Structure 1
Amino acid sequence: MFFGEKLQSVRELNGLSRKELADKLNLSEQAIWQYENQYTVPKFEVVNEFKKVFNVKAQFFYTEPFATNISKVESIAYRSSDREARKKTKMETTFIDFTSYFLDKFESKLNLPTSPLPLLRDESVQLYNMSTKTNDRLLQLENIAENARKKLDVQSNSELLYKLELSGIYILEKNIGTSIDAYSTWTSQEKPFIILGNKKSQRFEEISI
């Protein structure tokens, strides 16, 4: 049985829209949509082309999906200047879903320390809600950042990345386009991610903790 969901996942993992994939294979965008939604089954010749494009075995498309949907579009947070560059946000949720699946496999044999992040997140929400005046928001955010730095023992920006990873945040690098430098998200399994893109080296210190 051909699983259209697997085609959609591997397409999104490779950052391709349906139209872009269709153009690569000289197919219609509608055909790709039909394959992914299992309205039609691709011929063997088409599956062979999928193999070449995505560098996977044909068996990949005929085995049940293994990654679960734990990342939501609305949970992905960009910096304010990146908010208009969200055309491929759905693709990023697929990346998070697959990454989390493999992290679970690796970490299933480990005894990981308790992360301070859930408690820190609750404290940050409380601090944020303490102020209701618009002109107090900037000061409130500064207080939240200062509290986070103290709780995570961040002494300087040079050690920020290390301390964030030590606290339990998964920090990864990938190509997310030239207009976005980073984004962050919490999954439904309470896993925090920060994804660094092409501009990560320019202004990493602006990522909100």
Structure 2
Amino acid sequence: MFNGRVLKELRLLNGLSRAELAQRINLTEQAIWQFESNETKPKLSTKMHLANQFHVDLTYFEQEEESVRFDSSVIAFRNADLATRKTIDIQTMYLHKVDSLIDYFESFVIIPNITIHDLSNVVSESYHKGESIEELALYAREKLGISKDNHDLLYKLERSGIYIVERLINGQADAYSAWSKLGRPYIVLGTNKSSVRRNFDLAHELGHILLHKYKDMNEDGDRLEQEANYFASCFLLPKEEFLVKFEERVGKRVSNPDSYILLKLDLNVSIQALEYRAFKLGLLTPKQHSYFYRQIAQKGYKMIEPLDDQIFVKKPSKVKSILDVVLSNHLVSLATIMSKQSIRLQFISEIFSVEMKFFDQYQEDRRTDRFDNIIPLYKRNNL
């Protein structure tokens, strides 16, 4: 038995076109299309080649295709990413598979203190009643307990119940977010951002999660993006505290990007985001604002700013923490996970961007899996 639709899912999951996959396994694009359409079945040698390519067992191709867990129209992609159907299909398939695996991992644990649903309900209701985005951003920041310097943003979002994952995102794709059909929120981060830009991505996607839950992003997408940007700016840089810090650190040198370096260090926000917040608050004139960006270009700060190579980039840890609880308490073994899911260890490593060495501590354990209980996932040192 061979389900060609599963092959298509794997191809999309790995960001490949039919032509790219065909080239990797020395077949024609037409042959790949025929496999995916169930017009023909691959030979055993070809199936083995495909299994090795995608780090799955042969039995993976006998499964039913993934159930539809996300509506692609409500995934908050950045506008530049909407140009290609391929990008949308790839990232949607990634979310489907991640959510499927999270379902499986969560069957062994109880996740405590999930607050994102209540926060989402309050913010969404207030948003539709016309409350200002700035007020909603401040409310969310307070409820999530974000530190003044934003250093714990990723940790606090994960603790609230949001699943944050990272992957090498193809092409122009930036971070994106979505609610699954069963009500699980996700943020997907790229792997090529500095710590401060990652913070803005997190705040931007939080804005979508709270303000635009299940909103069709194809309708008035520019406005929704502007709202998420403004939410992120207000969320990371509350007005009153920012005005005081700005006066202390920047003073009158508002058009010089280098004047923002200490403020960047204080607040873990990029120089450009700091200046933009200041401009929106009337601390720069349009002429000063334009000069600032000319200086950004001249100094080569558009993509890489001072301190970007010195501020540690924090990585998501929630999935690793769940895996640690499950494996350390012998609720299930790595071998059983791989057997049940028909995947190999590298599949898990790549889909969650978890380094292979993380699993070394569990590899030698051959004790019998426990099926007598489900344990709560209490707060741990790394979650």
* Range into which the TM-score falls when normalised by the shorter chain: 0.7 to 0.9
- SS at 1:77 equivalent: coil
Q: Evaluate the alpha carbon distance shift between residue 81 and residue 31 of structure 1 in structure 2; reply closer, same or farther with a 3 A threshold.
A: closer
Kindly report the root-mean-square deviation, in angstroms, between the aligned alpha carbons of the 2 structures. Answer: 2.4
Q: In structure 2, what is the Cα distance between the partners aligned to 1:110 and 1:172? A: 19
> Is residue 198 of structure 2 the alignment partner of residue 199 of structure 1?
no
State the Cα distance separating 1:161 from its structure 2 match: 0.5
State the match for 1:126 in structure 2: 125
How big is the shift at 1:83? 4.8
From 126, 147, 151, the equivalent of 2:143 is 151
Q: Which amino acid aligns with 1:68?
A: S
Q: 1:64 to 1:176 in 2, by over 3 A?
A: same
Tell me the CA shift for residue 2 of structure 1.
0.5
- From the superposition, tell whether residues 26 and 175 of structure 1 become closer, same or farther in structure 2 (CA, over 3 Å): same
Q: Which runs of 5+ in 1 are unaligned?
A: 132-138
Give the distance between the partners of 1:119 and 1:53, measured in 2 at CA: 42
Q: 2:153 aligns with which of 141, 160, 169?
A: 160
Q: CA deviation at 1:190?
A: 0.6
Structure 1 residues 48 and 107: CA distance shift in structure 2, 3 A: closer
Deviation of 1:18 after TM superposition, in Å, equals: 1.6
Question: Using the alignment, how far apart are the partners of 1:5 and 1:81 within structure 2?
Answer: 28
Q: Please, what TM-score do these two structures have when normalized by structure 2?
A: 0.48
1:206 is displaced (CA, Å) by 2.3
Unaligned runs of 5+ in 2: 207-383
Contact preservation (8 Å) 1:177, 1:197: no
Aligned match of 1:100: 99
Give the greater-gyration-radius structure (CA).
2
Say which of 171, 176, 197 aligns to 1:183. 176
> How many percent of aligned residue pairs carry the same amino acid?
37
Determine the structure 1 residue equivalent to 2:310: none
Count of residues in correspondence between the two structures? 201
Deviation sequence 1:25-48 (CA, Å, 0-9, x none)? 343333222211212212233223
Query: Is the deviation greater in 169-178 or in 185-194?
Result: 169-178
Number of the residue aligned with 1:51: 51
For residues 54-102 of structure 1, the C-alpha deviation after alignment (integer angstroms, 9 at most, x for no partner) is 23332322x2237422122112113456554764221222222222222
